[in-house]
């Protein structure tokens, strides 16, 4: 804040632009330039409002159509705000020059005997700074089932700060400045607000329990700075002329009193409930989509398992039918082979009986032959006949023996084939038993998967219901806070209207007294 007599260089010190020569830049430009060089585009933001207090009316220098802007004070935090004032976000230093140039163009100034461009209003540049503290990164793929991320340690915090740069209009005596007409009204309001500022500084320096900040709109706008929680710098300007000794002495005394004020800086942190609300809402949406995806996945897996079970059941049924048919065929073949074996055994027994008969005949014939050989040695022709008969009988006996061997080999081969068929029948029965065991295992796995899926769905539904209840509770708290703020705003507006009415009556009385004193 710059304080001093008119014409002593307050506006030059505070509001000089210095676009051509950086060394000529004032405090406003230098402060904004320093903040821009220290900001991080990811977490920091800066916006400005440029106002003037003219004839006890707050006007917007960036939007001149906005006049008589109300001043709102928060009873809990003591923070002062001006709803309706234009707040412009700063992009770069060139943007700063443009805004300050617009503000200086719209500011009231006049030519007096003490200053060719005397400021007729108090100019206040309000710089709003905000920094979002980084919170823990969270995995966007796997959402935890508990609520760890909503603990106080992970709440999204916002650091807010406000820098006020005030270029006060200079105090003046009407006989020295030569003010006439409307300029007298301007000087009256300037001196009135500066007088209220001096009273506040005196009360703060003396540690008074009451600080008269409501005596003027200037002190009301600076109330949160007067509360002792902000770092304050005061620039006091004086003139070198001995003609203005009394004004210089008063200005130095003002600065001396201000130096006695002790401020305690306070860190201001706020929970960013809007970001937290969006975060919880995003998590609810993510959990809902994740639950739907899990349900679709489980449904797809269930359908696949049911399809596999149906295929296994169909395969098992086909296998049973095939095994039954094979068993029936094998049984039929077995009965046929048994019947064939019995028939062959009967034939074999018949052949053996015939062979025994033939053997007996052969023995009998051999005996007869020997007898005939002994009896008919004399007849050569008879001998030849006997020899031929013997050979024929021997040939017939050999054929009968060969047939007997063939029947024996056929019987052995039939027995081996019967053994192979019995082995195939036992393998088919073991395969059918294995298929039945596989079907039972598939049914048991399906029941387990269905139970796990049901438990997971219940868990996700419980989590979503919990988050939705937290969301509704937070929404109700926000609504309640907004309603309280609106009630406080209406109550303050009514009080301000009453104060304005009282001040106007007091101002009229003061004006009448000043006119009487001037006369």
Strand duo 2-4 + 235-237: pairing: parallel
The per-residue pLDDT for 416 is 66
The per-residue pLDDT for 152 is 47
Is 512 a member of any domain? no
Say if residue 301's pLDDT is above 50. yes
The proportion of the chain whose per-residue pLDDT surpasses 90, expressed as a percent, equals 17
The tens digit of pLDDT for each residue in 261-283 reads 877 777 766 666 777 777 788 88
Is 498 a member of any domain? no
Is 473 a member of any domain? no
Question: Is position 493 annotated in a ligand binding site?
Answer: no
Is 100 a member of any domain? yes
Question: Is position 10 annotated in a ligand binding site?
Answer: yes
The band of 132, judged by pLDDT with boundaries at 50, 70 and 90, is confident
The band of 320, judged by pLDDT with boundaries at 50, 70 and 90, is confident
Q: What is the pTM of this model?
A: 0.51
The per-residue pLDDT for 65 is 92
The tens digit of pLDDT for each residue in 63-89 reads 999 988 999 987 777 788 899 899 999
| 264 lies in the same domain as 291 | no
Average pLDDT over residues 110-136: 78
- With contact defined as beta carbons under 8 Å apart, do 124 and 53 qualify? yes
Say if residue 48's pLDDT is above 60. yes
| 252 lies in the same domain as 304 | no
| 224 lies in the same domain as 304 | no
Say if residue 50's pLDDT is above 90. yes
| 356 lies in the same domain as 458 | yes
Structure-token pair, residue 167: 């270029």
Question: Is position 382 annotated in a ligand binding site?
Answer: no
Question: Is position 6 annotated in a ligand binding site?
Answer: yes
Question: Is position 9 annotated in a ligand binding site?
Answer: yes
The per-residue pLDDT for 418 is 60
Rounded to whole angstroms, how far apart are CA atoms 64 and 52? 10
The last residue of one of the domains, among 271, 294, 309, is 271
Supply the CATH number for residue 27's domain. 3.40.850.10
| 340 lies in the same domain as 248 | no
Average pLDDT over residues 291-303: 89
| 252 lies in the same domain as 389 | no
| 259 lies in the same domain as 292 | no
The per-residue pLDDT for 110 is 72
| 241 lies in the same domain as 297 | no
Question: Is position 105 annotated in a ligand binding site?
Answer: no
Question: Is position 116 annotated in a ligand binding site?
Answer: no
Structure-token pair, residue 415: 């027995």
Q: Which residue has the higher pLDDT, 143 or 183?
A: 183
Is 506 a member of any domain? no
| 122 lies in the same domain as 244 | yes
CA distances 356 to 350, 368, 399, 400, 437, Å, are 10, 18, 14, 11, 58
Per the structure, how many domains does the chain have? 2
The per-residue pLDDT for 476 is 80
The tens digit of pLDDT for each residue in 349-408 reads 887 777 777 777 777 766 776 676 666 555 555 455 556 666 666 676 666 667 667 766
The tens digit of pLDDT for each residue in 153-202 reads 556 678 888 899 999 988 777 666 666 666 788 888 888 988 999 999 88
Say if residue 507's pLDDT is above 90. no
Is 281 a member of any domain? no
Q: Which residue has the higher pLDDT, 518 or 320?
A: 320
The residue among 64, 105, 59, 103 whose CA lies nearest residue 82 is 59
The per-residue pLDDT for 31 is 94
| 44 lies in the same domain as 93 | yes
The per-residue pLDDT for 148 is 38
Full residue range of the structural domain in which residue 423 is found = 286-463
Rounded to whole angstroms, how far apart are CA atoms 200 and 212? 6
| 82 lies in the same domain as 114 | yes
Average pLDDT over residues 321-334: 84
| 301 lies in the same domain as 216 | no
Is 156 a member of any domain? yes
Query: Which runs of E-coded beta strand occur in 65-170?
Result: 72-73, 80-81, 88-89, 109-110, 118-119, 122-132, 157-167
Q: Which residue has the higher pLDDT, 319 or 267?
A: 319
């Amino acid at each position: 804040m710059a304080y001093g007599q008119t014409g002593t260089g307050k506006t030059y010190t505070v509001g000089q632009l210095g676009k051509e020569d950086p060394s000529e830049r004032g405090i406003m430009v230098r402060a904004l330039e320093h903040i821009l060089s220290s900001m991080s585009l990811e977490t920091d933001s800066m916006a400005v409002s440029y106002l003037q207090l003219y004839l006890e009316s707050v006007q917007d220098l960036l939007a001149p159509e906005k006049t008589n802007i109300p001043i709102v004070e928060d009873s809990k935090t003591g923070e002062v705000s001006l709803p309706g004032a234009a707040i412009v976000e700063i992009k770069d230093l060139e943007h700063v020059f443009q805004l300050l140039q617009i503000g200086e163009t719209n500011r009231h100034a006049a030519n007096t005997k003490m200053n060719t461009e005397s400021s007729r209003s108090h100019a206040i540049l309000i710089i709003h700074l905000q920094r979002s503290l980084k919170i823990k990164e969270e995995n966007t793929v796997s959402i935890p089932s508990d609520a760890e991320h909503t603990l106080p340690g992970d709440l999204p915090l916002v650091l807010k700060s406000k820098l006020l740069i005030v270029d006060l209009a200079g105090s003046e005596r009407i006989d020295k400045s030569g003010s006439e007409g409307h300029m007298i009204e301007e000087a009256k309001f300037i001196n009135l607000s500066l007088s209220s500022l001096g009273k506040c500084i005196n009360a703060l320096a003396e540690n008074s329990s009451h600080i008269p900040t409501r005596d003027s709109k200037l002190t009301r706008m600076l109330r949160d700075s007067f509360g002792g929680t902000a770092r304050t710098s005061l620039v006091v300007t004086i003139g070198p002329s001995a003609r203005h000794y009394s004004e210089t002495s008063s200005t130095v005394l003002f600065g001396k009193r201000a130096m006695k004020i002790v401020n305690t800086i306070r860190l201001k942190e706020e929970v960013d409930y809007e970001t937290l609300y969006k975060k919880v809402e995003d998590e609810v949406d993510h959990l809902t989509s994740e639950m739907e995806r899990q349900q679709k996945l489980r449904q797809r897996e269930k359908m696949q398992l049911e399809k596999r079970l149906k295929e296994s059941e169909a395969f098992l049924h086909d296998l049973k039918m095939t095994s039954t048919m094979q068993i029936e065929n094998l049984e039929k073949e077995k009965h046929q082979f048994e019947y064939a074996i019995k028939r062959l055994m009967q034939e074999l027994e018949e052949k053996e009986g015939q062979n025994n008969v033939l053997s007996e005949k052969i023995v009998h014939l051999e005996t007869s032959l020997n007898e005939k050989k002994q009896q008919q040695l004399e007849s050569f022709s008879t001998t030849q006949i006997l020899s031929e008969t013997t050979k024929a009988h021997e040939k017939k006996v050999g054929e009968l023996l060969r047939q007997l061997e063939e029947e024996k080999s056929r019987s052995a081969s039939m027995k081996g084939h019967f053994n192979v068929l019995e082995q195939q029948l036992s393998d088919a029965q073991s395969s059918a038993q294995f298929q039945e065991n596989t079907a039972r295992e598939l049914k048991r796995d399906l029941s387990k998967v269905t139970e796990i899926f049901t438990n997971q769905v219940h868990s996700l539904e419980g989590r979503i219901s919990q988050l939705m209840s937290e969301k509704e509770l937070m929404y109700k708290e926000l609504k309640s806070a907004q309603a309280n703020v609106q009630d406080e705003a209406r109550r303050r507006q009514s009080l301000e209207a009453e104060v304005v009415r009282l001040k106007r009556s007091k101002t009229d009385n003061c004006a009448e007294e000043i006119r009487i004193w001037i006369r």
